[in-house]
């Protein structure tokens, strides 16, 4: 029995989170809207973006006069860092140096053939520059995890997306940019002549072992069969790699008790792992699935199981039971994180989700409805009998409501189009409005969680709220939480996919992805609507003083002058030309809020005008313009598109 998801907007209350008590705010104009949700998928884009796998009242504080330094780690055209859970992409070393990894692609070629692991390192005085290319010498990789080995070297593990398994890349010492990459390991050849494809790893290292959890990709089109074990379709498995021997001593094992009574299917990225000394903690979730913790205190030899959220509906029978219940049920949205604090206690974090049983869709399919309008990060710590709020969105204009647009929590329909009556659709996968928690702890017992949330009234011209990176903190081991505070506070850029180093010192070390358009090209671009161009994204880093977080001085203001201002810079927007580099012709998407005369000018790097054309009067809305590069020799050029009131210049390359 396969599980189908139907989407809707939950007309229940949002929760806004303050420094003292939690306030309940109702969402205005809430309506229960259901659309076909067959497009909730885990993405890897092995070949093209269409080849994907179905799966399921505080006072507003002003920002400091001097912003924190936001470091550019590198750039990437591949703009999806996770389907749901952040993973382990940034590492604070004991000497204060920092290393970071991400999925990168230096170009926007079809299928991103040069995709791999981006890497950067801070040596105590400066970050490396020019870090846009992958570190692997072979394969097309993605979803890297980074770890420090006992010999002082670093290792990354990223999946090999074409054939499955994982490419390890190792340097000789932290900070070295010379990596030696392996052929794919843990590619699961347990059944001869069966093309199993394990990908989407989460990994951590300690005591000479690397602990890895992963999931299986399947595609009938590409001849990759569905893997079913213990009755679970595409299960999540655990592996352990011995560093000294360079071999696996546990390969794709099923955790104790993991079967179809708990989960009907696994899900790409709906899990997390943390490792500290001999303790290993694995957290599995998924929209409509139970939140399950496995903990080992002997390096993964034996495990104890904890049902964290006590979800009453589990396994293969869950959809039918949900339908019979006739009520909405709180669950996790698949974005989860797990952390082991300095005392050895395990903490779990997740984005809150909500589902409702739905009528069967076909003879062998039972589904449920998904309501993405949830705005809580939840927390549980080892020994708790119940969970608590650790974060949420923020009522920026203090009118008693947390306002976000339908575009912000909607996804494209099954045909890849923006739903009717919307200008865009920018939800990431099946995640809720407030999502993607990533936790950290310092040696003083302070806990932190960063997460992604839309900023109220900060709108892109296609009516989606821009996202920023929020932080909440606890000084009592997680009993109570304070926040949120807005770490990025941009208001004109999309800041998403946050990840915090598991260990904090005097600073909380955070990385994220940033670009000019809410959502991602890989999940949210509609060719007909031109809703998200394939543009260059920047991976950002910031070291936020822990004292500033705990003293609540960061606040929630944004850089724009007023929360209700219409930003004049957004009445005219020009995308990066695609393809780029190119020969022949390339296309540019232009958005006009009002009709205007438009012109296109091509110049060389010395500013010489090579071509100028008046394109006539264009109406408000999206337009595709063609740049004719025939006759131009190979090299760098600039194109300028101008209206009566604005002009924008961007760089292009002819090959």
Output the pLDDT for position 320: 83
Residue 310 neighbours by CB distance under 10 Å: 10
Confidence of residue 48 (pLDDT cuts 50, 70, 90): very low
Output the pLDDT for position 223: 80
To which residue do tokens 């992805």 refer? 513
d(CA 573, CA 592): 7
Q: How do beta strands 609-618 and 596-604 pair?
A: antiparallel
pLDDT at 402 over 90: no
Q: How do beta strands 537-545 and 71-76 pair?
A: antiparallel
Q: Which of 317-331, 401-415, 565-579 has the lowest mean pLDDT?
A: 565-579
pLDDT at 546 over 50: yes
Using the Cα atoms of residue 257, residue 262, residue 268 and residue 270 in order, give the sign of their dihedral.
Answer: negative
Which one has a higher pLDDT value, 195 or 182? 182
Output the pLDDT for position 267: 85
pLDDT at 61 over 80: no
Tell me the HSE value of 552 on the side-chain side, using a 13 A CA sphere.
Answer: 13
Q: How far lies 240's CA from each of 84, 198, 285, 300, 582, in Å?
A: 23, 14, 21, 8, 45
Closest CA to 112 of 181, 161, 177: 161
536 secondary structure, DSSP code: -
Average pLDDT over residues 542-548: 93
pLDDT at 301 over 90: yes
d(CA 425, CA 579): 23
CB 425 within 8 A of CB 418: yes
Residue 476 neighbours by CB distance under 10 Å: 10
d(CA 47, CA 144): 19
Residue 382 neighbours by CB distance under 10 Å: 18
pLDDT at 363 over 90: no
SS3 sequence, 593-647?
CCCEEEEEEEEECCCCEEEEEEEEEECCEEEEEEEECCCCCCEEEEEEEECCCCE
Confidence of residue 67 (pLDDT cuts 50, 70, 90): low
Those residues with Cβ within 8 angstroms of residue 114's Cβ, 6 or more apart along the chain or in another chain:
105, 106, 107, 133, 134, 140
CB 654 within 8 A of CB 586: no
CA torsion 370-371-377-379 (nearest 10°) is -50
Peptide bond into 581 cis (omega under 30): yes
Output the pLDDT for position 2: 32
Q: How far lies 495's CA from each of 221, 273, 414, 474, 498, in Å?
A: 34, 24, 26, 23, 8
pLDDT at 258 over 90: yes
Output the pLDDT for position 559: 56
To which residue do tokens 């959502």 refer? 519
Question: Which residues sit opposite 494 in a β-bridge?
Answer: 515
Confidence of residue 42 (pLDDT cuts 50, 70, 90): low
Closest CA to 389 of 381, 375, 377: 377
Share the mean pLDDT of the chain. Answer: 84
pLDDT at 618 over 50: yes
Q: Which of 87-96, 119-128, 227-236, 605-614 has the lowest mean pLDDT?
A: 605-614
Confidence of residue 180 (pLDDT cuts 50, 70, 90): very high
Average pLDDT over residues 154-170: 93
Which one has a higher pLDDT value, 608 or 379? 379
Output the pLDDT for position 360: 59
d(CA 173, CA 93): 12
- Reduce the DSSP state of residue 315 to 3 states and report it: helix
Taking the domain 571-654, which CATH number applies? 2.60.40.1930
Task: Locate 74 and state its tokens.
Answer: 């590198």
Q: What angle do CA 641, 105, 337 make, to 5 degrees?
A: 115
pLDDT (tens digit per residue) in 453-483: 999 889 988 889 999 999 999 999 999 999 8
Output the pLDDT for position 346: 98
pLDDT at 541 over 50: yes
pLDDT at 134 over 90: yes
Output the pLDDT for position 553: 86
Domain range summary for the chain, segments of one domain joined by +:
2-48+63-550, 571-654
Q: Taking the mean position of all CA atoms in its chain, how far away is CA 74?
A: 17
Q: Which of 215-219, 248-252, 365-369 has the lowest mean pLDDT?
A: 365-369
Average pLDDT over residues 313-326: 85
**Domain 2-48+63-550 belongs to what architecture?**
7 Propeller (2.130)
d(CA 186, CA 188): 5
Closest CA to 474 of 510, 497, 508, 501: 508
Average pLDDT over residues 428-447: 95
Average pLDDT over residues 98-103: 98
Which one has a higher pLDDT value, 36 or 591? 591
Average pLDDT over residues 587-614: 84
CB 101 within 8 A of CB 86: no
Confidence of residue 77 (pLDDT cuts 50, 70, 90): very high
Residue 559 neighbours by CB distance under 10 Å: 13
d(CA 296, CA 314): 23
- Reduce the DSSP state of residue 110 to 3 states and report it: coil
Task: Locate 491 and state its tokens.
Answer: 């208001």
Q: How far lies 297's CA from each of 248, 274, 301, in Å?
A: 19, 12, 8
Task: Locate 95 and state its tokens.
Answer: 């000497």
Task: Locate 368 and state its tokens.
Answer: 């449920």
319 secondary structure, DSSP code: H
Output the pLDDT for position 649: 79
Percent of the chain with pLDDT strictly greater than 90: 57
pLDDT at 293 over 50: yes
Output the pLDDT for position 425: 93
Residue 573 backbone dihedrals phi, psi, to 5 degrees:
-130, 135
Residue 591 backbone dihedrals phi, psi, to 5 degrees:
-110, 130
């Amino acid at each position: 029995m396969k599980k189908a998801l139907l989407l809707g907007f939950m007309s229940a209350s949002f929760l806004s989170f303050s420094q003292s008590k939690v306030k309940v705010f109702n969402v205005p104009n809430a309506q229960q809207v259901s659309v076909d949700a067959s497009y909730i998928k885990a993405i890897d884009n092995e070949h093209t973006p269409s080849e994907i796998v179905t799966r399921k009242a505080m006072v507003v504080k002003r920002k400091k006069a001097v912003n924190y330094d936001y470091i550019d780690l590198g750039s990437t055209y591949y703009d999806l860092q996770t389907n749901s859970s952040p993973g382990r992409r940034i590492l604070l070393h004991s000497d204060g140096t920092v290393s970071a990894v991400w999925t990168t692609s230096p170009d926007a070629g079809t299928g991103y053939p040069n995709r791999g692991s981006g890497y950067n390192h801070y040596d105590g005085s400066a970050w490396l520059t020019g870090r846009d290319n992958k570190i692997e010498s072979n394969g097309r990789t993605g979803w890297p995890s980074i770890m420090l080995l006992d010999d002082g070297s670093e290792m990354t593990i990223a999946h090999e997306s074409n054939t499955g398994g994982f490419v390890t890349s190792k340097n000789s010492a932290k900070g070295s940019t010379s990596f030696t990459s392996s052929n794919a390991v843990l590619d699961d050849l347990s059944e001869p002549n069966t093309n199993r494809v394990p990908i989407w790893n989460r990994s951590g290292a300690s005591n000479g072992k690397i602990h890895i959890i992963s999931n299986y990709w399947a595609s009938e089109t590409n001849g990759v069969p569905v893997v079913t074990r213990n009755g679970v379709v595409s299960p999540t498995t655990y592996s352990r790699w011995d560093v000294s021997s360079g071999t696996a001593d546990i390969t794709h094992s099923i955790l104790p008790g993991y079967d179809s009574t708990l989960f009907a299917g696994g899900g790409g990225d709906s899990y997390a792992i943390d490792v500290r000394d001999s303790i290993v903690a694995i957290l599995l979730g998924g929209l409509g699935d139970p939140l399950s913790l496995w903990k080992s205190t002997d390096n993964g030899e034996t495990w104890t199981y904890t049902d964290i959220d006590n979800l009453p509906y589990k396994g293969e029978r869950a959809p039918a039971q949900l339908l019979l219940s006739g009520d909405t049920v709180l669950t996790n949205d698949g974005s989860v994180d797990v952390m082991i604090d300095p005392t050895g206690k395990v903490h779990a974090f997740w984005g809150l989700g909500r589902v409702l049983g739905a009528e069967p869709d076909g003879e062998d399919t039972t589904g449920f409805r998904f309501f993405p309008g949830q705005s809580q990060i939840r927390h549980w710590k080892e020994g708790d009998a119940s969970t608590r709020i650790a974060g949420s969105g923020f009522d920026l204009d203090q009118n008693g409501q947390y306002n976000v647009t339908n575009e912000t929590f909607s996804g494209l329909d099954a045909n890849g189009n923006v739903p009717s009556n919307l200008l865009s659709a920018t939800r990431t996968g099946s995640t809720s409005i407030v999502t993607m928690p990533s936790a950290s702890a310092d040696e003083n017992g302070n806990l932190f969680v960063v997460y992604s949330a839309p900023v109220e009234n900060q709108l892109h011209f296609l009516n989606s709220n821009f996202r920023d990176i929020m932080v909440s903190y606890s000084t009592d081991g997680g009993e109570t939480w304070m926040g949120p505070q807005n770490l990025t506070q941009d208001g004109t850029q999309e800041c998403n996919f946050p990840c915090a180093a598991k260990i904090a010192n005097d600073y909380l070390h955070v990385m994220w992805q940033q670009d000019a358009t809410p959502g991602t090209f890989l999940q949210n671009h509609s060719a007909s609507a031109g809703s998200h161009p394939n543009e260059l994204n920047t991976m950002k880093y910031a070291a936020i003083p822990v004292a500033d977080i705990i003293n609540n001085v960061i606040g929630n203001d944004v850089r724009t002058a007023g929360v209700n201002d219409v930003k004049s810079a957004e009445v005219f927007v020009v995308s990066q030309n695609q393809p780029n580099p190119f020969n022949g012709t390339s296309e540019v998407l232009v958005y006009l809020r009002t009709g205007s005369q438009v012109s296109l000018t091509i110049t060389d790097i010395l500013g010489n005008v090579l071509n100028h054309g008046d394109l006539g009067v264009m109406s408000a809305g999206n337009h595709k313009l063609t740049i004719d590069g025939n006759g131009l020799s190979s090299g760098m050029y600039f194109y300028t598109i101008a209206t009566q009131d604005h002009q924008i210049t961007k760089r292009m390359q002819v090959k």
